[in-house]
Amino acid sequence: MDWDVVIVGAGLAGLSCGLELALKNKKVLLLEVDPVVGGRCSNWNENGMEVESGFHRFIGYYTALPALLKKAGVEVDEMVTWEEKIDVLIKGKNKKLVVGISPLMGPVKMLRGIFGNQDILTTKDKLSLVPFFIRGFKDYLLAPVKLDSYSVKEYANLHKVTDNALHYLLIPLSSGIFFLPPDRYSAYAFFGLFAPAVPKFYKMRNGAYLGGMTDVMCQPIADKIIELGGSIELGVNVTDVLTDEHGTVIGVKTESGEEYRGKHVVIAASLVGAKQILEKFKNEPSFQNLFKLPTMPAATLQIELTEPVLEKDITTFGPKTSLASFAEQSRTTFRRSNGRLSIILTPAEDFLMKSPDETLKIVVEDAKALGIHLEGKIKDYRQINHPADFYSLAPGVDPLRPTQATAITGLTLAGDYTRQPYFSTMEGAVVSGQRAAQLVEKALGEV
């Protein structure tokens, strides 16, 4: 069957592209290699244990994603519960740094974070961050290439950020969010994550999902696409694109040899998947940057417990340990659990080759150093590895990000690795999908 558009990948980029085109009465087919929709924003049952692709939060300043969800009939306030602060646990000291992150919804918590916590961050430590952030946002706007030549740690040293401020605030905000330690994380990407929040500071807060992301966020988008006449096929491994004698893309081919033809094809797979599918274009000049664009890994450990180990389900960081960021989730995402801890591990590459048992042993010891006692409370656990989860956020990489438009007729790209104002975020994936949809609609109108 011929389709108006064949979209490879049913993560947020593919789903947003598919919904926008289906709303324009285009006949849309989405092909997804996994057994569920969502991509890196998915949840599933793994041998009897409910797991998710990683530990995620909905950021309050998102605008494209909430608008997309509204089109699918999903209200964000019914999908998440909002957090107005984060906790940073101090290794070996049985103390925590409480940081308010919502100036409008939680002003008291924010003020307490700024003027309190003196036993962990002194006034000198806090003041050392002022020139770092002022110059960082200025360079982000006026000297992005220069800013991208520094790592977060180098930029912090340049502006004389104290060791305490570096370890207990900047490192959690780097490795705790995007897995990379500050000496390998681009200062441009760091400030780029927070830059959209500046004009929307009043919207800043974190949202903890009230269920798995496939269940509460991605599947409703998929259902809306189907309701509008589109189709989604799961467990389909696309390995190649089909071209005609003129080099125009006319469809895709799967691992089993099946062909799906369409007037236009959108590759919305992960960066690694896109490179594999587009292998035939590897030597095309316009694809050089895409194939040079490196990736970075991610690893999480998800532990089912006999009881909660934290008082609240809140975003928490564990600097100087393997627990980059984590949360108790038995009151939010996994409400059928007696206790549930999901942890982003750092550095991720150190854990990819370790067995889950080895990882668990390290995590239990590091958790104890943070004042979290897991011994005798563990029922089950799963380690979820992504050897090439995102495009790399290292210094000098950003210029390699391709646009959604390609030089190949009939082919468009979508994914957070493509060029748009956001970095490796859900918002960036949605924006890329929407831009791809606009390009496809224009191309179909010219046929």
Give the whole-angstrom CA distance, residue 432 versus residue 307: 40
Token pair for 305: 């417990």
| Closest C-alpha to 207, from 126, 314, 312 | 314
Residue 371 tokens read as 């004042």
* Cβ atoms < 10 Å from Cβ of 358: 12
Do residues 267 and 9 lie in contact, with contact meaning Cβ atoms separated by under 8 Å? yes
Q: 317 a known binding residue? A: no
3-state secondary structure the chain: CEEEEEEECCEHHHHHHHHHHHCCCCCEEEEECCCCCECCCCEEEECCEEEECCCCCEECCCCHHHHHHHHCCCCHHHHEEEECEEEEEECCCCEEEEEECCCCCCHHHHHHHHHCCCCCCCHHHHHCHHHHHHHHHHHHHHCHHHHCCCEHHHHHHHCCCCHHHHHHHHHHHHHHHHCCCCCCCEHHHHHHHHHHHCCCHHHCCEEEECCCHHHHHHHHHHHHHHHCCCEEEECCCEEEEEECCCCCEEEEEECCCCEEEEEEEEECCCHHHHHHHCHHHCCCHHHHHHHHCCEEEEEEEEEEECCCCCCCCCCEECCCCCEEEEEECCCCCCCCCCEEEEEEECCCHHHHCCCHHHHHHHHHHHHHHCCCCCCCCEEEEEEEEEEEEEECCCCCCHHHCCCCECCCCCEEECCCCCCCCCCCCHHHHHHHHHHHHHHHHHHHHHC
The reply, when asked if residue 401 is annotated as ligand binding, is: no
What's the rounded Cα separation, in Å, for the pair 152 and 230?
44
User: Annotated binding residue at 38?
Assistant: no
Between the alpha carbon of residue 407 and those of residues 221, 403, 412, the distances in Å are 30, 10, 9
Q: Is 57 annotated as a binding residue?
A: yes
Answer yes or no: is 435 a known binding residue. no
Binding site for FAD, by residue number, is 54-57, 238
Annotated binding site for substrate: 57
- What are the binding residues? 54-57, 238
